[in-house]
């Protein structure tokens, strides 16, 4: 076998490339998302292609796997260099920008309210609002999907949003009256 440096890439293509799928699957199982498998495979190919000789390689699959393993280990070492040490005090000073549990619950309740309001609309008006506001389709795309004119989409959108807002305002007013009645009832009980 001619293992001159010019023939190493051909040797890699002939002896190593057929094993890529197996090595890729092995890396995925072994490293479980800790590495970018594509980058590691590419690095392994670069290392194999830069060899001066391949005469010492008896088992190409095992050699490819070992080379890929070394490239993966190096990749994780490089990624560890990007982490700054953190004290316990600085850990607690990290700002969490995710919404609080209360805010998430309020959002879910508000979404449920809108969903109930939407369910009271006609099918066409409800679908127009869903396609435009939830799925982000344009007026033209919405009209095409529903088989109606853009004018129908525009009018349905206006009527639908007005109706949803009116229903929610009515519900808010009812809730306010209920809260006032409850406060008055509790006040009477407290004076007894």
CATH of the domain at 182: 1.10.10.10
Residues 55 and 110 reside in one and the same domain? no
Does residue 90 belong to any structural domain of this protein?
no
Residues 115 and 146 reside in one and the same domain? yes
Q: Within 13 Å of residue 73, how many CA atoms lie on the same side as its CB?
A: 6
Residues 13 and 55 reside in one and the same domain? yes
CA distances from 104 to 11, 40, 115, 182 (A): 58, 40, 16, 26
Residues 108 and 177 reside in one and the same domain? yes
pLDDT of residue 151: 94
Question: Rounded distance, CA 57 to CA 80, Å?
Answer: 32
User: What is the pLDDT tens value at each position of the chain, 192 positions in all?
Assistant: 455 556 677 887 888 888 888 988 888 888 887 888 889 889 988 888 888 888 888 898 889 899 999 998 888 876 555 555 666 565 566 666 777 788 888 888 888 888 888 888 899 999 998 898 888 889 999 999 999 999 999 999 999 888 888 888 888 787 778 777 777 776 666 555
For residue 41, which of 59, 17, 58, 60 has the smallest C-alpha distance? 17
pLDDT of residue 175: 74
Does residue 71 belong to any structural domain of this protein?
yes
pLDDT of residue 153: 92
pLDDT of residue 143: 94
Does residue 93 belong to any structural domain of this protein?
no
Q: Does residue 59 contact residue 22 with C-beta atoms inside 8 Å? A: no
pLDDT of residue 156: 92
Domains identified in the chain, total number:
2
Residues 109 and 180 reside in one and the same domain? yes
Domain limit, last residue, from 13, 48, 80: 80
Residues 76 and 105 reside in one and the same domain? no
């Amino acid at each position: 076998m001619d293992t001159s440096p010019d023939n190493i890439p051909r040797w890699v293509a002939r002896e190593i490339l057929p094993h890529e799928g197996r090595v890729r699957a092995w890396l995925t199982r072994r490293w479980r998302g800790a590495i970018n498998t594509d980058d590691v495979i590419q690095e392994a190919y670069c290392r194999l292609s830069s060899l001066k000789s391949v005469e010492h390689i008896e088992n190409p699959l095992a050699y490819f796997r070992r080379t890929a393993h070394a490239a993966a280990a190096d990749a994780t070492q490089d990624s560890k260099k990007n982490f700054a040490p953190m004290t316990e005090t600085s850990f607690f000073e990290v700002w969490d920008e995710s919404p609080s549990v209360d805010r998430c619950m309020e959002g879910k309740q508000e979404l449920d309210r809108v969903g109930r309001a939407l369910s009271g609309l006609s099918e066409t008006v409800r679908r127009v609002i869903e396609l435009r506001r939830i799925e982000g389709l344009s007026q033209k795309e919405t009209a095409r999907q529903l088989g109606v004119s853009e004018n129908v989409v525009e009018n349905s959108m206006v009527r639908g949003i007005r109706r949803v807002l009116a229903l929610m305002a009515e519900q808010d007013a009812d809730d306010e009256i209920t809260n006032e009645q409850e406060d008055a009832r509790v006040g009477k009980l407290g004076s007894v």
